[in-house]
Chains A and B, each alone.
Chain A
Amino acid sequence: MSVGGGGNGEILVRVENLKKWFPVAAAGLSFAAKREWVQAVDDVSFEIAKGETLGLVGESGCGKTTVGRTVARLYEPTAGKVVFDGQSIYELPAEEMRQVRRKIQMIFQDPYASLNPRMTVGDIVGEPIDINRLATGEARKNRIFELLETVGLNREHASRFPHEFSGGQRQRIGLARSLAADPSFIICDEPISALDVSIQAQVVNMLQDLQEKMGLTYLFIAHDLAMVKHISNRVAVMYLGKIVEVADGYELYAHPVHPYTTALLSAIPIPDPGVEEERRRIILEGDVPSPINPPSGCHFRTRCRLAQPVCSEKEPELVDRGAGQKVACWVT
């Protein structure tokens, strides 16, 4: 498999046939009713090389966050396997999992909701240090200062509270906190969506600098495909619980194969009136169907312009089309 500039080829994270289904609360008291499931993530496989960024895009509700949380084992999987740094993490006993958990960190969309408002910034950043008993006393304090400086804050900020900071600064605090445990893999779930454009660029540049300096590996979840393409080596496109296409970001833009990828790309506005005038949009009709009873065969068939009879009968597999591009479609 080809990996872009960032990675050195050695696989850090391997996700195999991952499934995460949530039970639907049964309506009424009918005990006879068949149990229904939200098939949030349904048979997803991918790999991420050391030092690489894999982007994950798709419409709201397609299962991106669930992938992230299940890979971090914040959710127990329904089925499947995640191999992290050679260890199959769902099989690990509690104590060993604790060691691995330290290496896998997650940062979230809403930096405010994920920071305890009653703790000082220093204690928020210091908490993973305490939990993992990484340092105490003077060494702990210095480590906190160092982390704050790493993310572009300063040591004076340690004694303040989260509400005294702007959105971008809060996202930095969250990042300093996840770096405190000395992770090798960070799952970034929409880390910039809530920020203003000028602040987004600050945070993205910082994520890139940290990756270079510390050799971090990222799973970068977002729905802004332009930003995902910018920050990622490869991009995976999800639709209704499944990955439909994976490719190098530039390749994906230049030669999208899956009809959903094509539509998604064409929906994204480009800040250039000249280009916009010339562009022809593929407008996707209708909404994403419910993940409770997704369409048979190819999940995208209800909105696909190219759908054939086979698409409703059999599910297309994610097949290698060369140059690291994988596509799940019967027709294209």
Chain B
Amino acid sequence: MENLLRVRDLKTSFFTYAGEVRAVDGVSFEVAVGEAVAIVGESGCGKSVTAMSLLRLIPEPGKVLAGSVELGGRDLLRLKEREMRHVRGNDISMVFQDPMTSLNPVLTIGTQLAEAIRQHQKVEKDKARARAIETLEMVKIPSPDKRLAQYPHQLSGGMRQRVMMAMALSCHPRLVIADEPTTSLDVTIQAQIIELLKEIKKATGMSIILITHNLGVVAGLATRVIVMYAGKIVEYGPVKEIYQIPQHPYTWGLLKSVPRLDAAEKRRLVPIYGQPPDLLKPPAGCRFHPRCDHAMKVCREKEAPFVPVNGNGEHRVACWLQHPAAPAVAGFKKGVPA
């Protein structure tokens, strides 16, 4: 698969009065053309900051400190702001969690869509209107011509989220970053939106980065999954391997702490004890060690290297249990033949 995006050793910090918050601390991954990659992890682990760093939209007092973000061979972190503006909207666009905060309440849907289209492409006013209707059709909004005259508050939550998606798609970007696009929506609407993303991906060949903490949503849409914990990627791999042979105790925890709808009998949930660390002073060694049932001496002292789980290197994990000298853990299957 041809890579569209290649992120290397990305580091982003917030310089607050209390000190440096290392929100993203050395993150590397790729997104192939036409692929959906999911970023999962608990609140505060750095998912949104990762996405905002790719687009260079980090607010004060934050700063991208290091790394590279290559899109089609160009490092976005080195572009001039003017060139970057062109990238946002034309190459990469973003859908946010709460559509109400990103739609302008005093402008009609039509005005906002046409503006988004005209900002990035030189088209006549009535052409822009036709394109706006087209994009609303693409996201399956019924009677789109009537919707153009409506204001955001006149639409339901699911409909607003689809308008946001229409805006993001209006310029045919190569990559859409969807940051928790369904979190505030009902499951029925969530299913509509996910289904829609799948269809559009198939029809247009665009790539998607999907940020979520819902492992279920990921299972149906993503081809690859990135598991983040406390500003770092702890596991990374093809979706099936992440669910079938997860290697990191944090990934196990995420999978075991939610009940499955299709569970045939009651089993007690297995929580992850404690809570994620304060990124002002993350724990030494493996950042997960204070919550890990398998923590060893080495885990408290040294960070675990990010190692391949199997031969092809597609599935990687940062955990000392991978070390040949580590003790065996019950129920843990290490790797599969490549």
Q: Are B239 and A273 in contact (CB-based, < 8 A)?
A: yes
Q: A197-B258, A201-B271 are in contact. Are A267 and B188 (CB under 8 A)?
A: yes
Q: CB < 8 Å: which of B157, B217, B244, B254 contacts A269?
A: B217
Q: Are B271 and A205 in contact (CB-based, < 8 A)?
A: yes
Question: B43: CB under 8 A from chain A?
Answer: yes
A223 and B187 alpha carbons, distance in the complex (Å): 8
Closest to A276 in B: B220
- Please give the distance in Å from A157's CB to the nearest CB on chain B: 14
Closest to B140 in A: A285
Closest to B217 in A: A269
Binary B-proximity of A257-300 (CB < 8 A = 1, otherwise 0) = 00000011111111111111001010110110000000000000
Tell me which residues across on chain A come within 8 A of B253, comparing CB atoms: 198
A200 and B327 alpha carbons, distance in the complex (Å): 30
Q: Are B243 and A199 in contact (CB-based, < 8 A)?
A: no
Question: A210: CB under 8 A from chain B?
Answer: no
Question: A230: CB under 8 A from chain B?
Answer: yes
Binds A, one of B54-62, B145-153, B208-216, B279-287: B208-216
Q: Are B260 and A168 in contact (CB-based, < 8 A)?
A: no
A310 and B253 alpha carbons, distance in the complex (Å): 49
Tell me which residues across on chain B come within 8 A of A275, comparing CB atoms: 219, 262
Question: B298: CB under 8 A from chain A?
Answer: no
Tell me which residues across on chain B come within 8 A of A270, comparing CB atoms: 216, 219, 260-262
Q: Are B43 and A196 in contact (CB-based, < 8 A)?
A: yes
Q: Are A269 and B216 in contact (CB-based, < 8 A)?
A: yes
Q: Is the interface of A mostly helix, strand, loop or mixed?
A: helix
Tell me which residues across on chain A come within 8 A of B156, comparing CB atoms: 287
Q: Are B257 and A198 in contact (CB-based, < 8 A)?
A: yes
Q: CB < 8 Å: which of A202, A205, A208, A263 contacts B188?
A: A263
Binary A-proximity of B246-271 (CB < 8 A = 1, otherwise 0) = 00000001110111111111101111
Q: Are A284 and B213 in contact (CB-based, < 8 A)?
A: no
> Interface residue tally of chain B, by bracket?
35 or more
Q: Are B43 and A271 in contact (CB-based, < 8 A)?
A: no
Question: A318: CB under 8 A from chain B?
Answer: no
A283 and B265 alpha carbons, distance in the complex (Å): 27
Q: Are A271 and B216 in contact (CB-based, < 8 A)?
A: yes
A123 and B195 alpha carbons, distance in the complex (Å): 49
Q: A201-B271, A205-B271, A226-B260 are in contact. Are A269 and B194 (CB under 8 A)?
A: yes
Question: B17: CB under 8 A from chain A?
Answer: no
Tell me which residues across on chain A come within 8 A of B101, comparing CB atoms: none
Question: A166: CB under 8 A from chain B?
Answer: yes
Q: Are A287 and B187 in contact (CB-based, < 8 A)?
A: no
Q: CB < 8 Å: which of A227, A250, A287 contacts B159?
A: A287
Q: Are B191 and A253 in contact (CB-based, < 8 A)?
A: no
Q: Are A204 and B243 in contact (CB-based, < 8 A)?
A: no
Binary A-proximity of B220-252 (CB < 8 A = 1, otherwise 0) = 100000000000000000011001100000000
- Please give the distance in Å from B203's CB to the nearest CB on chain A: 17
Q: CB < 8 Å: which of A199, A263, A264, A284 contacts B271?
A: A199
Binary A-proximity of B128-145 (CB < 8 A = 1, otherwise 0) = 000000000000001000
Q: CB < 8 Å: which of A202, A253, A264, A272 contacts B187?
A: A264
Count of chain A residues near B, Cβ 8 A: 43
A276 and B259 alpha carbons, distance in the complex (Å): 16
Tell me which residues across on chain B come within 8 A of A201, comparing CB atoms: 257-258, 269-272
- Please give the distance in Å from A101's CB to the nearest CB on chain B: 32
Q: Are A269 and B220 in contact (CB-based, < 8 A)?
A: yes
Q: Are B186 and A60 in contact (CB-based, < 8 A)?
A: yes
Binary B-proximity of A186-223 (CB < 8 A = 1, otherwise 0) = 00000000001111111011001000000000000001
Question: A229: CB under 8 A from chain B?
Answer: yes
Question: B192: CB under 8 A from chain A?
Answer: yes
Question: A59: CB under 8 A from chain B?
Answer: yes
Question: A225: CB under 8 A from chain B?
Answer: yes
A240 and B214 alpha carbons, distance in the complex (Å): 26
Tell me which residues across on chain B come within 8 A of A279, comparing CB atoms: 220
Tell me which residues across on chain B come within 8 A of A271, comparing CB atoms: 215-216, 218-219, 243, 255, 258, 260
Q: Are A205 and B268 in contact (CB-based, < 8 A)?
A: yes
Question: B312: CB under 8 A from chain A?
Answer: no
Q: Are B243 and A197 in contact (CB-based, < 8 A)?
A: no
Q: A267-B191, A270-B216, A273-B239 are in contact. Are A225 and B261 (CB under 8 A)?
A: yes
Q: A168-B275, A202-B273, A272-B243 are in contact. Are A226 and B258 (CB under 8 A)?
A: yes
Question: B42: CB under 8 A from chain A?
Answer: yes
Question: B110: CB under 8 A from chain A?
Answer: no
Question: B190: CB under 8 A from chain A?
Answer: yes
A201 and B259 alpha carbons, distance in the complex (Å): 9
Q: CB < 8 Å: which of A226, A230, A272, A283 contacts B192?
A: A283
- Contacting B at CB under 8 A, from A217-245, are 223-227, 229-230
A60, A202, A273, A274 — most chain B CB neighbours (10 Å)? A273
Question: B46: CB under 8 A from chain A?
Answer: no
- Please give the distance in Å from A98's CB to the nearest CB on chain B: 37
A59 and B163 alpha carbons, distance in the complex (Å): 21
Q: Are B188 and A59 in contact (CB-based, < 8 A)?
A: yes
Q: Report 22 cross-chain contacts, Cβ distance below 8 Å, ordered by A residue.
A: A166-B275, A198-B271, A200-B271, A201-B271, A204-B269, A208-B268, A227-B259, A229-B263, A250-B264, A253-B261, A264-B187, A267-B188, A267-B190, A269-B190, A269-B194, A271-B218, A271-B243, A273-B240, A273-B243, A274-B244, A276-B220, A283-B191
**Interface contacts beyond A196-B43, A230-B269, A270-B261: sample of 11 additional A-B pairs, CB < 8 Å, sorted by A:** A59-B187, A196-B42, A198-B257, A200-B258, A200-B271, A226-B258, A227-B258, A227-B259, A230-B259, A263-B188, A276-B216
